[in-house]
A and B are shown apart, each in its own frame.
Chain A
C-alpha cells in the first residue's frame, strides 16, 4: 500500500470515528448559561449550600419532562428556543461584597452567562447587581430583603421576594384582619417597636414606624439596642413604661430570649408580640422557652402549609430532601427555586438570549400566585423591578409548634388572641 493510500485510509477511518461524535453535537440545541452568585464558603456557607441545591434542582426540572403546576418546568428545556437546555454555573461570593463583584464579573466574562441570579446576603447582592447593570445583563434577586436594593434606580435588576417593608405592611394588614373578624372593636392602638440596631432591625423598625403612623396607630416607644448586648434590662423597662397593646420585634436568638424572659419577669403583657422571623423562628426559640413561647406571632416567607394552595409544594420538598441530606425546603431554598423558574420562564418567552429581549420578558412577567411555591398573590414587577405580588405569612406558636394563621386562605389554625398570660 502506498503512503498516499495509507493516508487516505487513515483519513477515512479518522473521519468516521470523528463524525458520529461531532455531527449530532452540532445539531444539539445550544446551552443557555445562567450565572449564580452565592455564599458557598464563609459564615453563610451552610445556607449557600442549600440555595445551590435548590437552584440546581430547579434547573434539572426545567431540563426534564415531568410537569408540575409551576412555570417553565417539564418541557425538556426552553420550548421557544428549540428546547435549549439551561446550565447554571455557580460562583462563590464568600459572603463578601468585593468577592461577589469579582464572582459576577467572572460569570459574565468567562462563562458568558445570559443572566445572573443571587446573591442572598443583601450587601453582596448590591455589588453583584452593579456588575450586571454595567454589563447590561438582567440580574434576578430571589432572596435579599433589604428595601434599599430596589430603590437604586437600576435598569436590569429584578427582585421576586418581598422586602422588609412588605413584611411590615403585612403586620398591619394582619392587625386589621384580626380586628375585622373579632366581635369587639379596635383591639390594638399603641405599638412598641423593638429591634437590634443593625441593617435588619433598623430597616424593619423604620418600615413599621412609618406604615403604623400612616395607618393611625400610636408608636408608644421605639427601642433600638446593640445586637451584641448581653442584657436588656433597660430596654424591657422602656417597653413596660410605654404599656403597648402590641410589640413588634426584630431580634436574633440570644437577644430574643433575653427579651422574652425580661417581658415575663417584669410582667409586660401585650395582646400580641409580632416578630420578624430571625431569632423567633430559630429551633432554639421554642426549645428554650417552652410554654413561655406560646402565642408569639412571627412572619415567615414560606411554609409547607402552602400545599393547600399548590400541591407541588410537598413534591418539590421531597425532591429537595433527596438532594440535601433530608433537610426540608424552607423560606430561603423555596425562594431561590422559584427565582430560577421565573428567570427561565422569561428567557423562554423572550425566545432569545439577547439581554434586551430577556429584560423585556422579565418586565412583562405575570405569574399567578397559585403557580408558585410561595404565599404570594402573583409575580409582577413594578418599575423598580420589585415584585408587587409578594407577601409573607404569619405563624403563631400554638402547643409548641409554628402554625400558619394568616393570610386566612392558607391558614391551618385560627388565631389565638390575645396571647396567653405569662404562667408563673
Chain B
C-alpha cells in the first residue's frame, strides 16, 4: 500500500514535471517546424522572460497577470531578433544558424551576468505556494498552475497552426518553402511570425516558471537541455509530439530518480531517446 501510494505520487509528479518541460519545448519545436532552425538561444529567451516576470512582480504585477505582458514583450523581442539577425543567418549556409543562435546564447548569458549579476532573483512571497492534498497525493499548487498553463498553451498553439489562416500558411511554409512562395505566401512574414510566436511561448513559460524557480543568468540552460531531448524524442516540429515527449521524459526522470538513483535519473530518459532515435529517427510524432 505504502509502495503503491509512493508510485502514484511519483507518477503524478512525473506528469506535472513533464508539463513544465512541454511549456519550454513547444516554442522550440514551433520555430524548428516552420524554419528548420534549432534556436540554441531558446533557453536564454526563457531566462529573459523570467527576469521580466520577476521585474513585474517587484512593481506589484503578479506572474499570472504579468504573463500576457511578458509574452507580448518576448513576441516583439523575437521579431526584432529575427529581423536583425536570424534573417541574415538564413541567407548563409545551414551551419550559420547553429553558430549564430549559439553565439546569441553566449551573448545573452554574458549580458545578463553583466546587467543583473549572477545573484538569484526569486519572486518574493509568490502566489500558489500552498499544497493541494487529494487522498494520499500531495500536489503543489504552483506545479498544477504551471501544468495547466502548459496544456492551455500547447492547445492554443496546436489550434492556431491547424485552423488559423496564418497557422495554415506556416504549415505550408514548413512543408514546401518554394511551393508556398509560388502560392503567394510571404515567407519572410511567416518566418517573422513563427519566430515571434516561439519567443512568446518562452515568455509565457518564463512567467509561469518564476512561480517555483528563481531567475539567474544560466537558468535557461538547465531547462533548455531537457527541452532539446523532449523535442528530439517527440519529433522535431511537432507540437503534439513535444507534449507527448515531455510527459515521457518527466515520468521517466522522476521514476528513474527514485527506483534507480537520483544521480542516474537522466539515464532512462536518454535510453528512451536512443531507442526512439534508432527505431523511429523522426521522433514519436514527427513526420518525414
Bound pair (A, B): yes
Interface residues of A (CB under 8 A from B): 43, 46, 197, 223-226, 228-235, 237-238, 241, 253-254, 257-258, 261, 264-267, 282-284, 287-288, 290, 292, 424
Q: For residue A224, which residues in chain B have a CB less than 8 angstroms away from its CB? A: 262-263
A sample of 26 cross-chain residue pairs with beta-carbon separation below 8 angstroms, ordered by A number, consists of A223-B262, A224-B263, A225-B263, A226-B262, A226-B263, A228-B222, A230-B213, A230-B226, A233-B17, A233-B257, A233-B258, A234-B255, A234-B257, A234-B262, A235-B262, A238-B262, A254-B214, A254-B219, A254-B222, A257-B212, A261-B140, A265-B131, A284-B122, A287-B124, A288-B126, A292-B129
- Which of B8-16, B86-94, B167-175, B191-199 is the interface stretch? B8-16
Q: Are A234 and B258 closer than 8 Å at their CB atoms? A: yes
Pick the residue among A46, A197, A235, A282 that contacts B120 (CB under 8 A).
A282
Shortest Cβ distance from B122 into A: residue: A288
Q: How far is the CA of A53 from the CA of B266 in the complex (A)?
A: 43
Q: Which residue of A lies closest to B222 (CB)?
A: A228
B254 near A231 with CB under 8 A, answer yes
Q: Does B216 contact A (CB under 8 A)?
A: yes
Alpha-carbon gap, A256 to B9, bound state (A):
21
Contact for A241 among B6, B129, B213, B216, CB less than 8 A: B6
> 3 closest A-B pairs (Cβ-Cβ)?
A234-B257, A234-B258, A233-B13
Evaluate whether A254 and B120 lie within 8 angstroms (CB atoms) in the complex, with A43-B113, A261-B212, A267-B138 already known: yes
Q: List chain B residues, Cβ under 8 A from A253.
A: 120, 122, 214
A interface, by DSSP: helix, strand, loop or mixed? helix
- Within the complex, what minimum Cβ distance (angstroms) separates A214 from chain B? 25
Within 8 A of A (CB), among B183-217: 212-214, 216
Residues A235 and B223 in contact, CB atoms below 8 Å apart:
no
Q: Is the CB of B262 within 8 A of A288?
A: no
Closest B residue to A227 by beta carbon equals B222
Q: How far is the CB of B252 from chain A (nearest CB, A)?
A: 11
Contacts of B263 in A (CB 8 A): 197, 224-226
Q: Are A234 and B254 in contact (CB under 8 A)?
A: yes
Closest to A197 in B: B263
Q: Which residues of B in the span 56-98 have a Cβ within 8 Å of any Cβ on A?
A: none
Contact pick for A226, options B113, B117, B266, CB 8 Å: B266
- In the bound assembly, the distance between CA atoms of A129 and B80 in angstroms comes to 49
Question: Which residues of chain A come closer than 8 Å to B255, judged between CB atoms?
Answer: 234
Give the distance in Å from the alpha carbon of A269 to the alpha carbon of B258 in the complex. Answer: 19
Known: A254-B213, A265-B131, A288-B214. Contact between A231 and B17, CB under 8 A? Answer: yes
Bound together, the chains give a CA A288 to CA B129 distance in angstroms of 10
Q: How far is the CB of B81 from chain A (nearest CB, A)?
A: 25
Instruction: Decide yes or no whether B130 CB sits under 8 A from chain A.
Output: yes
Chain A residues whose CB sits within 8 angstroms of the CB of B262 once the complex forms: 223-226, 232, 234-235, 238
**Given A261-B140, A287-B122, are A234 and B212 also a contact pair (CB < 8 Å)?**
no
Q: In whole angstroms, what is the CA distance A258 to B262 when docked? A: 14
Closest to B223 in A: A230
In the complex, chain B residues 152-182 whose Cβ is within 8 Å of any chain A Cβ? none
Across-interface contacts of A225 in B (CB, < 8 A): 257, 262-263, 265
Nearest Cβ distance between residue A238 and chain B, in whole angstroms?
Answer: 6
Contact status of A237 and B10, CB under 8 A, knowing A228-B225, A230-B213, A257-B214: yes
